Structure 1
């Protein structure tokens, strides 16, 4: 029941923003979604299953946003800057994304274990949610790999590919630092461009010295 599942996840997310997760009741989530409590249990199995599915959905939505900004018709440096802006914006507007990126969950949020849990669910989406959830370091790797795929092409040389990977990981980690401590002037884009320019300058000097 994909439609019912999304409605339940929407209701669970709304409930998690208005009160501590420990105070969120399954019966209230079902009522807010307009379905029976049995439908909720059929989809998620338990409150833990619901929390895992909710966290998985928000992680997936963040990565879809990553792919969207990287697919924009712009220069590589501009796309990486947009990636950083998206990361900071997503974390600012979504407490679950912020927790996924920083590992700081807090008492008000659902905080499922990131490792996989046994699953007997007949719902494929729930079986996936019961698998491992991404840690902050996992997300850095996932973002880096998506950036490499978006910014490289058939003619990309191995040295260039390595350079793209280094730049992408640098921006991913810089983005996380901006989530925890935003720049004083609020310009994430300027910070990323400055860092990338300095990195490229150092690489040019290193190449000339060889």
Structure 2
């Protein structure tokens, strides 16, 4: 806590007042990374050319998921539920911040479980794609859930991120 306080330019007491303990600080960090992951999913869905087909946008979100988990052990842990002794564990459901909300659970509150994070990613994808989803195609929530779970399989059993994009395109074709 001393090193974190020094790096942040605050006193140790300020950290303890804000987070309560090392565990509270760790939970806040994991929660922040989960929120950042979800913002990244939204950027991936929106960042592809606006004229891009919804399937291409879902492929971009799947690639983001795989790359984000490969580069960030906290994101990987919260997506898979595979925690080590140095990371706080998720014990019960925790609401995630939606875009524009001002707060998240307190530092001692629960962390999102993998299914909850996946569900939030799915819901955000549905919200961003619903106006562009072709009629007659598979139901949008089902497609978003399938793509999220497919991406998660690439997190658990790694392969090149480009493979997940190809797989998403094939499945949605």
TM-score (norm 1): 0.69
- Tell me, yes or no, if the aligned pair for 1:59 and 1:97 is still in contact at 8 Å: yes
> What is aligned with 1:90?
68
Answer yes or no: is 1:180 the counterpart of 2:172: no
**Per-residue CA shift, 1:57-103, capped at 9, x if unaligned?**
00000000111111231210000000100000110110000000111
Q: Which runs of 5+ in 1 are unaligned?
A: 1-25, 118-123, 198-210
How far apart, in 2, do the equivalents of 1:125 and 1:166 lie?
A: 29
> What is aligned with 1:69?
44
Q: After the TM superposition, which of the residue ranges 35-44 and 95-104 deviates more from structure 2? A: 35-44
**Which structure would you say has the larger RCO, counting Cα contacts within 8 Å and 6 or more residues apart?**
2
> What is aligned with 1:146?
124
Q: Which runs of 5+ in 2 are unaligned?
A: 95-101
How far apart, in 1, do the equivalents of 2:65 and 2:89 lie?
A: 22
Answer yes or no: is 1:30 the counterpart of 2:5: yes
What is the RMSD of the two structures over their aligned residues, measured on CA atoms? 2.6
> What is aligned with 1:171?
147
- Tell me, yes or no, if the aligned pair for 1:116 and 1:132 is still in contact at 8 Å: yes
For these two proteins, the number of residue pairs brought into alignment is: 163
Q: Structure 1 or 2: larger helix share?
A: 1
Cα distance, 1:43 vs structure 2: 1.4
Candidates 85, 88, 112, aligned match of 1:134: 112
Who wins on radius of gyration, i.e. which is larger? Answer: 1
How far apart, in 2, do the equivalents of 1:93 and 1:135 lie?
A: 20
Q: After the TM superposition, which of the residue ranges 163-172 and 124-133 deviates more from structure 2? A: 124-133
Cα distance, 1:169 vs structure 2: 0.4
**Per-residue CA shift, 1:149-193, capped at 9, x if unaligned?**
111139987x76x71111100000000000011236852211111
